[in-house]
Amino acid sequence: MPLIDAARLLCLSYQIQDSINTLHRFEQIALVAPENESLFKACGTAFKILLRFRTVQGLKHENSGRYILLSELSKNDKLQLKNSFKSIQEIQAFIHTRFQLSQLPS
């Protein structure tokens, strides 16, 4: 959800109206804001990876795939998962800075 929400928020911020899904949103944002293109592309990649994990886990355990059993993942899978969470952390920091969220009272 953090990646979906970030893509929606940034599309609103950059006034992108013709985006149809999260991946398309990150692609459009990267075109509009090329100074942060690598971040937005990394977020798109992270979204695809997380979606794949969820799908595989859901099919394997016949559920929503919402919970991933780390004990069942290979080292490579764990590394991909870790890098995906790093992208989430980076986009959250970007949004925090861009919208000056530290200025809001607690």
Integer CA distances (angstroms), 100 to 46, 49, 59, 60, 92, in order: 25, 29, 41, 42, 12
Domains in the chain, number: 1
Confidence of residue 7 (pLDDT cuts 50, 70, 90): very high
At 33, which helix (H) or strand (E)? none
The pLDDT of 11-22, averaged and rounded, is 93
pTM: 0.89
Domain range enclosing 86: 2-103
Is residue 101 predicted with pLDDT exceeding 90? no
